[in-house]
Every structure is written in C-alpha cells, then in structure tokens.
A and B are shown apart, each in its own frame.
Chain A
Amino acid sequence: MAARERRAPRRAIGSALFMAVSLITLVVSTRSLAGMPERVGLSVLSFVQRGFDSVGTFVSDTVNSIAELRRLEKNYDDLLARLETLSTVERSYTDLKRENERLREQLGFKNDSAYVAISAKIIARDPENLYSTFVLDKGSTNGIAKNQAVVAYQDGAEGLVGRVIEVGRTSCVVSPIYDSSAYVAVKLERSRYDGIAVGSGSDEAPIIVRYVKKRAKDEIQYGDLVVTSGMQSLYPPGIGVGRVTMMRDLDYLTSLELDMEPLIDFGRIEYVFVVQQNRPDSAGSAESDR
C-alpha cells in the first residue's frame, strides 16, 4: 500500500503526459495536418479486420447454408413447376425483346451507367457509436481516392451511399450520407427544385433536405424521388438519394424542410461501388436523358 502511495505522483505525471500527447495529436489532426498516422493505423487494423470479416462470413455462411439447403430443395420443386409455365411465355418474350431493342435504337438511349465504378465489400464499421463510417476492402492500390462518391444497388435501384473520407493502401473509410457531417446537393426529380441534404447522424432517423424554395410547396408530394443535382463536384448528377416522407413549412424559415428516407437500407448493404469518373460521353447528358 505504501509503495502504491509512493508511486502515485509518478502515475499522475505519466497519465498527464499521455493525455497531453493525445491532446496535441487532436489539435494537429483537427486542423487536418495529420493524415499519415491515420492512414498507417487504417492499413494495419483493416488488415486484421479483413481477416475477422472473412471468418465471420465463413461461420455465418456455414450456418445459413443448412437452412439454405432446405429452402433450395423446396425452391427446386417450385421452379420445376414454374419452368413449365415459363416455357410458354418465352416465345412472346423474345418478340417483346426484339421490339424493345428497335424502340430503344429509335429513341437513341445510351448506356445506363453514367460512370466507371469499382466494386468493394464492407468489411467493418466504426467501432464508436458516435460515428457511422464503414471500411471497404479496396484502397489506393485499386484506384480509390479521397472524396470519391460511393453508390450501391438494392432491389434493382441505384442509391447514393456516401463518400470516401480516408484512403489506405488496401482499404478506405466511407462516410455515409446520414452522417451528421454529410452534405449532398440534391434536386427533386419531378419538380426540379434544389436543396441540400443533411445527415442526422443515425441510419434510423430521416435525412433532412434544407433550402428548398417555399414556392415548391404545392408541387412536392409524399414519395417524390430526390436525386443528386451535380451542383458540387463530389457526386455525379442523377444518382437517387431518397424519397420524401414529410414536408415542413416553418414560419421562421425562409425555405421548406423535407424529411427523406434514403433509397438504400444501410442495415443490409454488403457491397458498394466507388465511382471513379464520369464516362466521357455521358457527363453532360445524364440529366437530359431522364
């Protein structure tokens, strides 16, 4: 006990030293002068995270596969029955496909994808509850750079996920659009009014769209699609962001405030696409095609 008391001042000085170094690091990093140590930390830990993710995926896949086998057996029987029905539909489908191709050619439709993208898997999420970032398994060696837009496909629709905020050699950190530090220039697809989407910090709370002109009040409807406007260089124009769920017209504000539900269900995304660059032929025409 006496020895413990004797060592108390040394412990206090040591603790203060550690805290001082942390604070200095914090001061430097909040002024964005320190990028290197974070990148090193990201590279080291993401390597281990990748291993953990693989083991986790293997275990859950194995468990799921038992139930999956039973389901597959049932599905197989169902599919046999459906195959019989579909074989009669096939002939009419071929005719429709030919007709569709002809019509598309006449309308001058271009390739749907307006940009080049790299697919990546989410291997980890932010260990802190206050932050909502996640780590992807692709980094600078795969051509990922800071501030690139990230999109995902869910239920056949493309939706904006966020942007790359930190890049390591083989991994990168993505800040989602619902993060409280995320701002996205958006446009209401139907009425064409502009706004700024601001994250609320949680994937369960709606994203707020601010600075929408008050005169848009009569034209905005529940369920209206909100897309990126392309008014800032980070996000290509025309990517779906969410759907309007509520509109507020507050007397003390000079603009409308909309609640928006993201198109992407962040609770179940596994794979995303990091947007590299616009296709040269589609950069200016993505909006006009719609």
Chain B
Amino acid sequence: MIRRWLASLALVSLLIVVQSTWLGVIAVYSVLPDLSLIAVVYIAFKSPNLQGQGVGFVAGLLQDGISAAPFGLNAFVKTAVAWLANLLSGKFYIDRLLMPALFGFSMTLAKAAYLAVLASLFSGKITGYDFLGSTLWIEAAYNAVVAPFMFMLLGFLDRFIVPRDAR
C-alpha cells in the first residue's frame, strides 16, 4: 500500500513540476491545464480508500512551496476535490471520453467553488477565480479536453497506483 501511495505522490508531484516548467508552451491565453488536479481526481475516483485525499494533501503542500499561494491552500483544495471524486467512486462507469471530460470540467468548477469559499473566509489573503472572467472557463474547458488523455495514460499505470481490487 505504501508503495502505491508513494508512486501516486511521485506521479502527481512530477505533474506539478511539468505544469510549472514545460506546459507554458501550450498555454491558452496564459492559462494552463491543471494536470495534477486531474491525476488526483483519477486516483481518488479509482481508489476506494483515502489514497486520493492523502496524495492530494501532500502534493498540494509541495505545490504551495513553489506557488505564491498561501501555504496550505492547494493542500486543502486538492484534498477537498479528491474527497468529492472519492464520494463518486464506484457510482459511475468511466468511458473513454465523456465521463473524463465531465470530471475534468466539473472538478475545476469544484476547485473554483472551494477557492471562492476560502477567499471569503480569508479575505485579502487568498485569490479566488472570477466566475465571470475568462481564466476559470478556459481552464475548465482545457481540463475537460485534457482529462480523457490523462485518464487514458493513467490507466496504463493502474497497477502502480490503484489497488488491485479496484482495477
């Protein structure tokens, strides 16, 4: 189990690094897809235990270290989004295209909703998305487009990151 958790954490951390370095070349209006969030959602959905939340929490802390976000913000958001995905675990059949896209889109909106709540609680300290601005909707659409590819690629790694009984 520990090996599976560590492999998932390494994978999500790697995606955070890729997001902050190479992904700039495919930015749309300076907006990047949130690969690490999609991976956390995948892990949380596939694993019936706390793996998604745990990985989201630790990877979020790491992300906070290289981001201007207050320490703990990404940890909370990733854990909370993973919890949502985990609630849906086993309740849907994941096809190749539609469901991953729907997950990518809806989990981005969930992230924005969590941030909006936190921004109102910690006013002035936390930046939330502007629901009428373009950034959120471009990111949600981008995540919806990228999610099917990510789910497909992560599917190849199932034996390293997903418990055997959940595959």
Contacts and interface: CB of A to CB of B under 8 A. Distances in A.
B76 A46 contact: no
Leading 4 A-B pairs by shortest Cβ distance? A41-B65, A25-B72, A26-B72, A22-B76
B66 A53 contact: no
Interface of B: 13-14, 16-22, 24, 29-32, 34, 36, 48-50, 53-54, 56-57, 60-76, 79-80, 82-83, 86, 89-90, 115, 118, 122, 125-129, 135, 139
A180 B17 CA distance: 24
Contacts of B24: 125
Point out which of A19, A56, A124 has the most chain B C-beta atoms below 10 A from its C-beta. Answer: A19
Interface string A127-162: 111111101000000000000000000000000000
A264 B108 CA distance: 32
B49 A11 contact: yes
Given A7-B48, A15-B50, A37-B61, A125 B71 contact: no
- What bracket does the count of chain A residues touching chain B fall in? 35 or more
Given A40-B65, A41-B64, A44-B62, A49 B75 contact: no
A127 B86 CA distance: 24
6 contacts: A37-B65, A46-B66, A52-B22, A127-B32, A128-B69, A133-B67
B72 A28 contact: yes
Contacts of A107: none
A22 B66 contact: no
A21 B61 CA distance: 11
A24 B76 CA distance: 10
B76 A19 contact: yes
Contact of A25 (B17, B18, B71): B71
A13 to B, nearest CB: 9
Given A22-B75, A30-B70, A30-B125, 16 more contacts: A11-B48, A14-B54, A18-B57, A18-B79, A21-B57, A22-B76, A29-B72, A37-B65, A38-B71, A45-B62, A56-B21, A124-B20, A127-B63, A128-B67, A129-B32, A130-B115
Contacts of A15: 50, 53, 79-80, 82-83, 86
Contact of A45 (B13, B31, B70): B13
A127 B66 contact: yes
B17 A30 contact: no
